[in-house]
Amino acid sequence: MTWHIGVDIGGTFIDFCAHNSDTQALHTIKVLTTPDNPGAELRSGLELLQRRHQVDPSDAIRFVHGTTVGINTIIQKKGAKLALITNAGFEDVLELGRLRMPDMYSLFCSSAEALIPRDQIFGISGRLTAQGAESAPLDLVQLNDILARCHKQGVEGIIISMLHAYQSPAHEDAVKAELERLAPELFVFTSSEIWPVVREYERGTTAILNGYVHPRVAGYLGGLEATLSELGMPARPLLTKSNGGLMQAETGKRNCVSMLLSGTASGVTGASWLARQAGVDRVLTLDIGGTSADVALIIDGKPQFGKDEKIGDYPLHIPSVSVSSIGIGGGSIAHVDAFRVLKVGPESAGSTPGPACYDRGGTQATLTDALAVCGYLGHAPMAYGQLTLDLTRAFVVVGEIAQKLGRDTASTAEAIIRVAVSEMFVEVEKLASRAGIDLREYTLMPFGGGGPMLGAMLARDLGMQHVLVPHRPGVVSALGGLVSDLKGDFVRALFVPCTVKSVPLIQEASASLIAQGNAWLCEKQGFEAGGDVQISAEMRYAGQSFEVDVPLKQEWIETGDMAAIRCAFDARHQDLFDFNDPEAEAEIVNLALITIGQTQPLHLEQRPLQEAEAQRLKQAPMQMAGQEHSVSIYARDSLTAGHRFAGPAVVAQEDTTCVIPPGIQAHVDGHLNLHLHFNGSHTDV
């Protein structure tokens, strides 16, 4: 037996997806997370997979893992104690940032607290010009005093971020070498080795984020490797990355920043693969977990990417799958504010203690408790038998909210659901406006533990007509790891005009990036041959303060066809902003390269359609649209390709529950995806 195992850790559950490449069998499970003992759930989950589905770790040839250790470290402010070394006179770079307040309309907002306090930021004499030449030599003797102060303050690691290091890393490298000689017990990162781009604040904060999470991530990954070794797994662990690709766990111990958004990116990667299987090319994904709802766009079957994602309050300036997070999840706590207004989230009960209906010590009403009161839950074993539903507890805590509002419990539960869906609606509308798209032309794909419960309600409010629910929606992020390729990002700063005079520099930079990418893929990731490359230029009109990412053809660079590059930029600018200026001067700021090592593709059987009405499991009373309905209950495992039925209905399965309001037609395709279509009736739910 040959197994490929994908694992993803969320706020409440750790998800497992095991695929047998010999038999094409696919098995999934969920295990509750253990926040006080990260990593323990991994062992228990692998052991449960073996007991339940005979997935022997010693037969695994591929193990892919997504983890939230890094991002949780930042959100919880539990990272390493760091010092920052920069140029003398620029010690206030973190305090100044971009001189923008988080909320420009609030008189009371404040900037986020810097991850490195001002008294742990040190300047050193020395300067490079914008062209990378030395205008003032480094004074490395100053490092002795800096290190003495670092040791006195209990610093664990040092970040070096100096002016114009994107053009030349010479000064940063010299400081790093001297620090490693003088204080080998401290870990050191330079901004030029993490992501060598212009703008010292973004480059510096990206390096700081990398160092801040480094000890916990490296420790976690070391424990992961030890656990897999103890279980007899021969596969070297791979990690999902923020860019939707993979890398070796050993690489992730130092390149920590590239995996901060691994779980959310992996979910979008898995969703795009499922969408292509189903023949759908424009998708809005909705991943609802225990603490948040993440939404992203898939256009032409591909996830969308950006370079200015936020990790908590801090900018991350590396290529990442573009995901917008909303503080609404299954564990989001409902409360009544001082004005007797019902609010949901952003505070969450998480996995410990969790919603009250999980009977794990939760005492506050959550979105999950409201769903339980309405009757949507409890029609199948929950979380593969990991949870039992205590309806009495759900009615008690939702009843407490109802009492404060002067309403009955059932209508209060529906109100909690409506408030949560409304919060998502606002954020999705913002995303659609920024992207300039009409959501009525898109398909909603809900996944995660809570996505299928609320997906149809959100789609109705957004005017979307089609919802695609994957066969195993609760483990799409874990599946995403199994369908991802090795993927590395590399960049070279150029700052050259888009003219024929720049051809030699562009050609040299391209050749250097390709060599760098091949070395990363073959030497560090163990890929046996050179991979595919995708090259792009970050361009702008002279005087602009932002760049546009323009995909390039390698032949344009090889032949020096600057006219083709310029036309591609003008066309891209027109697409994004509805105008361009072909007469204006244009600049190439950065040349970027993606190297891809394609992994073994995953194949799932497509079943022949057998047109038939699905057989319901039972009828059950549920609260919908302000009144009680008798709703059909279907077991997901009993639905096969070609089955059809109509709402109101609930499809129960072990990893989630799919709620189908009245006026919706449902059918199952050959990959066992569930398609929901509105027939024009948008009855309130």
Domain assignment present for residue 279? The answer is no
Domain C-terminal end among 153, 188, 213: 213
- Quickly state the pLDDT bin for 13 (edges 50, 70, 90): confident
Q: Are residues 527 and 645 in the same domain?
A: no
Closest CA to 11 of 199, 291, 208, 229: 291
- Quickly state the pLDDT bin for 684 (edges 50, 70, 90): very low
Per-residue pLDDT tens digits for 226-243? 889 988 999 999 999 999
Mean pLDDT of the chain: 91
Tell me the pTM: 0.90
In the chain the first and final C-alpha atoms are separated, in Å, by: 47
Per-residue pLDDT tens digits for 537-572? 999 999 898 899 999 999 999 999 999 999 999 999
Mean of pLDDT values over 362-381: 93
Q: Are residues 251 and 171 in the same domain?
A: no
pLDDT at 14 over 90: no
Domain assignment present for residue 202? The answer is yes
Mean of pLDDT values over 665-670: 95
pLDDT at 128 over 60: yes
24: which 2 tokens?
């094409």
Per-residue pLDDT tens digits for 396-405? 999 999 999 9
Domain assignment present for residue 335? The answer is no
Domain assignment present for residue 154? The answer is yes
Helices marked H in 231-383: 249-252, 262-278, 367-373
| More reliable by pLDDT, 148 or 655 | 148
Closest CA to 327 of 354, 355, 288: 288
pLDDT at 262 over 70: yes
SS3 406: coil
Q: Tokens 């994107």 label which residue?
A: 166
Q: Are 643 and 671 in contact (CB under 8 A)?
A: no
Q: Are residues 550 and 652 in the same domain?
A: no
Q: What is the DSSP secondary structure assignment for residue 303, as one 8-state letter?
A: E
Dist CA 151 CA 582 (whole Å):
56
Contacts of 472 (CB under 8 A, 6+ apart): 17, 26, 28, 479, 653, 655
SS3 671: coil
Domain assignment present for residue 545? The answer is yes
Q: Are residues 205 and 95 in the same domain?
A: yes
Closest CA to 634 of 612, 648, 614: 614
- Burial classification of residue 399, based on how many CB atoms lie within 10 Å of its CB (0-12 exposed, 13-18 middle, 19 or more buried): middle
| Count of domains observed in the chain | 4
Per-residue pLDDT tens digits for 451-472? 999 999 999 999 999 999 999 9
Domain assignment present for residue 431? The answer is no
Determine the angle formed by the axes of helices 409-435 and 451-462, rounding to 10 degrees: 60
Dihedral sign of CA atoms 84, 86, 89, 94 in order: negative
Q: Are residues 120 and 179 in the same domain?
A: yes
Per-residue pLDDT tens digits for 430-439? 999 888 899 9
Dist CA 438 CA 462 (whole Å):
10
Q: Are residues 50 and 141 in the same domain?
A: no
Domain assignment present for residue 156? The answer is yes
Q: Are residues 124 and 10 in the same domain?
A: no
SS3 572: helix
Q: Are residues 94 and 199 in the same domain?
A: yes
When mean pLDDT is compared across 34-38, 124-128, 187-191, 354-358, the lowest value belongs to 34-38
β-pairing verdict for 586-597 and 309-311: unpaired
Q: Are residues 116 and 140 in the same domain?
A: yes
Domain assignment present for residue 468? The answer is no
- Quickly state the pLDDT bin for 311 (edges 50, 70, 90): confident
When mean pLDDT is compared across 131-135, 443-447, 504-508, the lowest value belongs to 131-135
SS3 333: strand
Per the structure, the complete domain to which residue 54 belongs is given by 3-74+217-259
Report percent pLDDT > 70 for the chain.
Answer: 98
- Quickly state the pLDDT bin for 313 (edges 50, 70, 90): confident
